[in-house]
A = this chain, B = another copy of it.
């Protein structure tokens, strides 16, 4: 229990962040639950507007041994930015940290304050013909994207966030709320260990990211889309390899959609059309997207035409049906799966990856486990096949014969993750990162020497483990 009265908190924090920067009582509610998991109660929410204010808040928390939880746009899916139920943690929201946005168009780089959202950044880049191409369903803050190292649907072309970070600024807990500037707007810089990497993909552990310098890309001038039905599981990888060989310069997405996933979306999301109508949705389909930055003036290339011709040549070999075209409609189907799945019942989410050479085999094996040992559950899987990622989501349907049973859910999780890691050399958290929600698996599957090194690193920047909700140490725990 906290011994801090509201008066004492106001006295300490109002001089630092001002009236707009401090939320207490009922105003904190929207900062206290995660987008998917996590629900707690904060001591208060602070919303500093400058790096200096972050520094003051961090210094105050450190001086009084008060844990703090950095939070961006609160779109994370593993509860890493949600306070626990103790009402002793300060949520440090970066939502007002958004003054700076310095674009260097000739360098194709931008430096932004951590609280700026992806959508805002892209709106600012658009008039210059640029964008930050790491895309995903939500609208996260840039700082949050770095903390989670988000991947998204176009990773095969643009890489994850880590691939696009040139520099960052972070406030460490120790020593004395130190501000570190790591990296600059440079593509080549080999001046010692690249310490900024220690702040990417760590779910806000140990430091608050306040500013980020990103490489950005030219916006594509052409794109082409198709939804295709493979002739077999084996054909999926053959098709992917053929695509990379024949149209590899352009491949930006290769998304697998299971029949269940498509059906869930089509049946439950209003106005969503089955693109295969009047036929029913097939057992499996792949959403292919190509993008070209180049100008037709010089290449003479019609990308949709090239894709269509490629698909025609693949016909009967690797594909047996194809819907050409309307990109917005096809992506709408892809992006509606989560909503459709939720309408069916309670989702049990698996964000996993394997070497992509084994992704179809993994999905088949995992589905077999569910069908055989958890027949009351319903698989709604979809994934980023080209990069080996799959959202192997399982639904406890509202109309299931058995009532929702957390012990069964736990048993399923243990089974699937064991299969991913041990049988398929994969990862139990491909994109979402580590939060309280899956920390036990970090403890189980990360070898002790690696956890020990992680613990040592954390000690250097945050010896009391005050910042963030997870501990990557030898005895990883939620705190």
Which A residues are within 8 Å of any B CB, using their own CB? 104-109, 129, 148-149, 151, 155-156, 159-160, 162-163, 172, 175, 178, 180-182, 184-195, 197-198, 200-202, 205, 218, 237, 240-241, 244-250, 292-295, 297-301, 306-307, 309-310, 353-358, 384, 387-389, 425-434, 441-442, 445-447, 449-450, 453-454, 456-457, 460-461, 472
Contact = CB atoms under 8 A, between A and B. Distances in A.
A293 B460 contact: no
B431 A249 contact: no
A469 to B, nearest CB: 13
Given A105-B357, A190-B434, 13 more contacts: A107-B358, A155-B188, A180-B447, A185-B355, A187-B353, A193-B201, A193-B202, A218-B245, A246-B295, A247-B298, A248-B294, A298-B307, A456-B460
Contacts of A163: 159, 163
Contacts of A197: 194, 197-198
A350 to B, nearest CB: 13
Contacts of A427: 184, 186, 188-191
Nearest to A309: B298
Contacts of A472: 192-193
Contact of A187 (B388, B434, B441): B388
A111 B358 CA distance: 16
B248 A293 contact: yes
14 contacts: A107-B388, A172-B453, A184-B426, A185-B355, A186-B355, A188-B427, A190-B427, A193-B201, A193-B472, A195-B453, A195-B454, A195-B457, A245-B293, A246-B295
A151 B187 CA distance: 9
Copies of this chain, whole number: 2
Contact of A389 (B188, B244, B450): B188
Contacts of A201: 190, 192-194
A242 B109 CA distance: 16
A249 B300 CA distance: 14
Nearest to A425: B184
Contacts of A189: 353, 427, 429-430
Contacts of A293: 244-245, 248-249
Given A186-B427, A250-B249, A454 B192 contact: yes
A193 B188 contact: no
A200 B194 contact: yes
B298 A246 contact: yes
B249 A190 contact: no
Contacts of A109: 355
A182 B125 CA distance: 36
Contact of A249 (B104, B181, B294, B460): B294
A454 B186 contact: no
Contact of A191 (B186, B292, B428, B457): B428
A244 B205 CA distance: 37
A414 to B, nearest CB: 16
Contacts of A245: 129, 218, 293, 295
A299 B295 contact: no
Q: Which of A178, A192, A388 has the most chain B CB atoms inside 10 A of its CB?
A: A192
Given A245-B293, A356-B107, A431 B193 contact: no
Contacts of A425: 184-186
B460 A356 contact: no
B193 A198 contact: yes
A429 B191 contact: yes
Q: Which of A172, A193, A431, A445 has the most chain B CB atoms inside 10 A of its CB?
A: A193
Given A193-B201, A202-B193, A453-B460, A155 B250 contact: no
Nearest to A248: B293
A282 to B, nearest CB: 23
A477 B283 CA distance: 63
Contacts of A149: 190, 194
Q: Which 7 A-B pairs have the closest CB atoms?
A: A197-B197, A248-B293, A106-B357, A188-B430, A456-B460, A187-B387, A189-B427
A205 B205 CA distance: 25
Contacts of A294: 246-250, 306
